[in-house]
Amino acid sequence: MKNNIRKFSADELAAEFEKMGEPKFRAKQVHEWLWKKSAHSFDEMTNLSKELRVKMAEQFSFYSVTENIVQKSTDGTVKLGMKLHDDRLVEGVMIPDDERSTACVSSQVGCTLSCTFCATGFLKRERNLEAGEIYDQVVLLNKHALVHNGKGLTNIVYMGMGEPLLNYDNVMQSIKYITSPEGLNMAQKRITVSTSGIVRGIKRIADEGMKFNLALSLHAPTDEKRNKIMDINQSNPLNEVMEALNYFYEKTGNKITFEYILFDKFNDSLEDAEHLYKLTERVPSFVNIIEFNNVTGVDLRKAKRENRDAFVEYLRNKNVSVAIRRSRGKDIDAACGQLANKNG
Ligand code: SAH
Ligand code: SF4
């Protein structure tokens, strides 16, 4: 089997080229094409001889992602259906506003987990995305940001399909290239990774000195309730998740974002708000209240407006920093939790 060329670091690539009898500077040029110039094929590498391009194609595979379907929401949100080299599909979203262009990228085809409220969770996990495939989503979404919002990407959130911390190495490699001068040179603080709460992964990020932001899909403030909607909580209970988040905060100084979908009569009482408040006291944090987006076959409903307002007011009175997140791109199934390759 051919090796995926984007698996090699700059040094490893130089060693490969040496084996092929090619000078070192060629490897450097290729590395630049792969990342900084975001090439999608060997043929685009126009400062290399045709002969060398053919030789590379024989030796290496180049798994690039291509745009398949583009949908635009009435609110300006753009959803991209993208095709992988093995014909599998993933989705990514570009969310425009006055100050920002935010890309929401996928980390897996399907998801390893199956939270009861999430459309992606109903898909079977087919495979992890390669770092290069995550990177390509960013490059493609950046083009749409420029066209549709007049500015390139300012923020990237790993909130598309899949659980990023269960594809740890590839996600971290993608972030390294997105943030390095060898790649897109974006600041780590512009990146947010959202996790369902993988304790081991959270600690590892902190230990490896990564400085991006972390969001926890909390959605229920006690083990008892969380176990009912998020299976992962059985093996990664809240107490351990909170300890890991605290460890992350101590190492990075980055506040944690708690994402909390308000479900009608499930987690929207003032008692739930109190439990949530207690969690926020354990680590410096923000709370994002997320509107539940309907998913076919799910019998949870979004909370009533008056309950939501009372919930938010309770938290604000306790000086918790709370934002209510407007849902974007619902008409094209591009909103949180709706990504499911329906057009595939
Ligand atoms: N697997 C990671 C990353 C995906 S992020 C995680 O779960 O954090 C997708 C975000 O959308 C998560 O916060 C998820 O909990 C949320 N979400 C899932 N289904 C949703 C729905 N039906 N309505 C609103 N948000 C949803
Ligand atoms: Fe996977 Fe996140 Fe959806 Fe849960 S919420 S099924 S972890 S994508």
Residue 3 has pLDDT above 80, yes or no: yes
Nearest-5° angle of CA 256, CA 177, CA 144? 85
Ligand 2, atom 6: closest residue by C-alpha: 121
Q: Which ligand is nearest to the CA of 171?
A: 1
Span 52-102, pLDDT tens digits:
999 999 999 999 999 999 999 999 999 999 999 999 999 999 999 999 999
Residue 344 has pLDDT above 60, yes or no: no
Number of domains in the chain: 2
Ligand 1 centroid to Cα of residue 290, in Å, is: 9
Does the residue 340 lie in any domain? no
Kindly list the distances between the CA atom of residue 30 and the CA atoms of 47, 159, 177, 288, 335, in Å, as whole numbers in the listed order.
9, 31, 15, 42, 37
Does the residue 83 lie in any domain? yes
pLDDT number for residue 1: 85
CA–CA separation, 11 and 311 (whole Å): 53
Kindly state whether residues 48 and 132 are assigned to the same domain: no
Q: Taking each helix axis from N to C terminus, what angle separates 199-207 and 168-179, rounded to the nearest 10 degrees?
A: 40
Instruction: Pick the range with the lowest mean pLDDT from 189-193, 243-247, 332-336.
Output: 332-336
pLDDT number for residue 343: 60
Query: Hey, which residues are catalytic here?
Result: 91, 336
Q: Find the mean pLDDT for residues 108-121.
A: 92
Residue type, 15: A
Range of the domain at 210: 66-332
Query: E strand or H helix at 186, and its extent?
Result: none
Q: Which ligand is nearest to the CA of 301?
A: 1
* 78 Cβ below 6 A of ligand 2: no
Kindly state whether residues 256 and 300 are assigned to the same domain: yes
- Supply the CATH number for residue 35's domain: 1.10.150.530
Kindly state whether residues 202 and 311 are assigned to the same domain: yes
Kindly state whether residues 32 and 176 are assigned to the same domain: no
Last residue of a domain, one of 61, 89, 107: 61
Residue type, 244: A
Overall pTM > 0.85: yes
Does the residue 338 lie in any domain? no
Kindly state whether residues 130 and 153 are assigned to the same domain: yes
